[in-house]
Amino acid sequence: MKPIIGIVPLIDEKKDSFWMLPGYMDGISEAGGIPIMLPLTDNAEEISQLLDTVQGILLTGGHDVGPSLYGEKPLPECGVISKERDSMESELLKQALDRDMPVLGICRGIQFLNAYLGGTLYQDLPTERPTETEHHQTPPYDVPVHTVTIKEDSSLFRLLNTGTLSVNSYHHQAIKQKADSLKTMALSEDGLIEAVEIEGKRFVWGLQWHPEFSHLKDDNSKKIFNEFVRNCIS
């Protein structure tokens, strides 16, 4: 039986619609999973029933994480916030972590994971932490624009067996103060946290870069999706 992976929906308020980037679904499908887009809900009973159905959760990119989640007010440079997503993902993560269910967070996903667990975020890197490292590339998004250093004591190093990785990058927020329960797996050239994990859990990873864009060309992105799906089976 292939594992079913629940994917948090993307939201387009202007079109009053939910949608999905094919790269999230294709990356999971190619790794042997069955991807499904979840409904937008923070109802605890509904989420519990959904988690009875799926074997893993993928936290997608998209809206900025609401600063109220980590005790701050939005700066003028903070982007569009979705209170509905913040509320849904809070309940989703709570129950998924309680069940020790595999979770992969990408871009906003790593940021939300950190904020939910007690960390803080840079609301806007260009104004709060200027750098020459490219963190907000233009298309095509499958082209690497900077490197990350992978810590040798991390699960990511054990998977990829390399200390450096070239990655794509498209974000303006990032981890500022890391949550105590998260362990850093990789750092960018300018010292930003680019990957985290929770030790002692079956699989809880957060990545700042975008394997959903690079998996068609990059074997390491494929390995990450494969490892996520493999842990959803075991």
Note the pLDDT tens digit of each residue in 180-232. 999 999 999 999 999 999 999 999 999 999 999 999 899 999 999 999 999 99
Instruction: Name, in order, each residue with C-beta under 8 angstroms of 125's C-beta and a sequence gap of 6 or more.
Output: 131, 135, 136, 171, 172, 173, 174, 192
Instruction: Name, in order, each residue with C-beta under 8 angstroms of 200's C-beta and a sequence gap of 6 or more.
Output: none
Token pair listed for 1: 């039986």
Crossing angle (nearest 10°) for helices 83-98 and 108-116: 70
Residue range 16-22: average pLDDT?
Answer: 95
Residues 23-67: tens digit of each pLDDT: 999 999 999 999 999 999 999 999 999 999 999 999 999 999 999
Give the pLDDT confidence score for residue 129 in this predicted structure. 97
Residue 162: other Cβ atoms inside 10 A? 10
CA dist 45 and 172 (Å) reads 34
The residues annotated as belonging to the active site are 107, 210, 212
CATH 3.40.50.880 for domain 4-233, yes or no, is yes
Give the pLDDT confidence score for residue 93 in this predicted structure. 98
Residue 49: other Cβ atoms inside 10 A? 10
CA dist 227 and 147 (Å) reads 21
Residues 65-79: tens digit of each pLDDT: 999 999 999 999 999
Give the pLDDT confidence score for residue 104 in this predicted structure. 98
Residues 94-145: tens digit of each pLDDT: 999 999 999 999 999 999 999 999 999 999 999 999 999 999 999 999 999 9
What is the C-alpha end-to-end distance of the chain, expressed in Å?
11
> Is 19 exposed, middle or buried, given 0-12, 13-18 or 19+ CB atoms closer than 10 A?
exposed
Spell out the domain ranges in the chain.
Answer: 4-233
CA dist 11 and 76 (Å) reads 22
